[in-house]
Amino acid sequence: MAGESSGEDAVSEYLGQNPQLARWVDSLRGYCETNKQWVARREFILRNMEGFPTVEPGVPSSSLDRLLSLSTVWANHVFLGCSYPQAVMDKIKEMGEGIAVEDAPVHRTTIGGLAKAKRSATAESDADGCAKRARCGSNELDGRPAGRTAAWPGGQKSGPPPQAPAEHQPFFNRLYKAVAWKLVSAGGFGPNLDHFEILRSCVESCKETLACVFVPLKDITGLPAGRTQKEGHVCEIRCQSVYVGTGYGRDEGAAKAMASKEALKVFQGRKVTVKICRRRYKGKDVEDLVLLDEQPRSQGFPPALSYPFQDEDGSP
């Protein structure tokens, strides 16, 4: 492929002449990739196979894993706007040179300290605003008008509509990839990471924001067994009105850090799934949107601190 012209036609012609290679490379397609994303990433893989001489079609190897990892990092950057350490960005830019992506998304996210500082300040401001609204009883978690994620049309009663998990799943598939490669660039999941910063940056790379709600621990009923102390705070994190994690800490910062860590644990499996689950909210059982991994659960969920699926009279 080194001397071929770029474009889908050249790749298709090349694969047409090599049917066995075509069958193998098609097996590498991700289950949630669109046709446009896969065509571009497929060209990236084929163009760069010569740079990994130990890669053999159909034979697992560390070289193949690295090539596929770099292809996904490149695709995440092109289509989702994800950013990585500069050395990684330079590498994928070099490997992706000459690949033309028609109608590629234009991302306003800028790699650099100033942009990062602005995003961080905005995220902290959003989190503070969410906390204030939660204490005042507001149900608009992320500051946007009630609509796509805060309320449902047609006089929908309390709880998310049945189609909600399917509507949210594509976004969380993208977020799963962004988190996976962010953790790869950070050296893997561990206790010394800034879990909130990783989660926030990945969510923003997917063009969304996190919603953080804080409540004093003494005001919470139905806490897990053993959680009897009354000092400190509880933090609940949502994204697109989907619950992703709860954390406890001596102050709001510590609670947010713990909630972020718990949220990132969900992304350690092979996939994440949005489901409607039963939770306790203000002493009542309600249906809530929850992000789950594939691990079996032996205990229920922490009580909800917020509930964006109110009926018209405001009651759960």
pLDDT tens digits, 129-184: 444 433 333 333 333 333 333 333 333 456 899 999 999 999 999 999 999 888 88
Tell the residue number behind the tokens 């500082």, with chain if given: 117
Cα 137 to Cα 62: distance, rounded to the nearest angstrom? 52
Report CA-CA distances (Å) from 92 to 3, 25, 54, 69, 289: 19, 19, 19, 10, 36
Cα 214 to Cα 82: distance, rounded to the nearest angstrom? 28
Q: Flag residues of the chain having pLDDT under 70.
A: 1-10, 31-32, 104, 106-158, 221-230, 297-299, 310-316
What angle, 0 to 180 degrees and rounded to 10, lies between the N-to-C axes of helices 195-205 and 252-266? Answer: 60
Q: Would you state the pLDDT for residue 145?
A: 32
* 225 Ramachandran zone, left/alpha/beta (phi>0; psi -120 to 50): beta
Cα 307 to Cα 105: distance, rounded to the nearest angstrom? 33
Report CA-CA distances (Å) from 204 to 14, 77, 264: 38, 13, 15
Q: Would you state the pLDDT for residue 121?
A: 43
Please check whether residue 98 is in contact with residue 183, taking contact to mean a CB–CB distance below 8 angstroms: no
Tell the residue number behind the tokens 């990132």, with chain if given: 264
Tokens representing residue 136 in the block: 């005042």
Q: Would you state the pLDDT for residue 176?
A: 92
DSSP state of 62: H
Size of the chain, expressed as the number of residues it contains: 316
Tokens representing residue 102 in the block: 């028609």
Kindly calculate the radius of gyration of the chain based on its CA atoms and give it in whole angstroms.
Answer: 22
Q: Can you give the pTM of this predicted structure?
A: 0.51
Q: Would you state the pLDDT for residue 158?
A: 66
User: Helix or strand or coil: residue 203?
Assistant: helix
Q: What is the dihedral of CA 175, 177, 182, 187, to 10 degrees?
A: 140
Q: Would you state the pLDDT for residue 79?
A: 84
Q: Would you state the pLDDT for residue 138?
A: 31
Tell the residue number behind the tokens 């910062």, with chain if given: 253
Q: Which residues pair with 239 in a beta bridge?
A: 210, 242
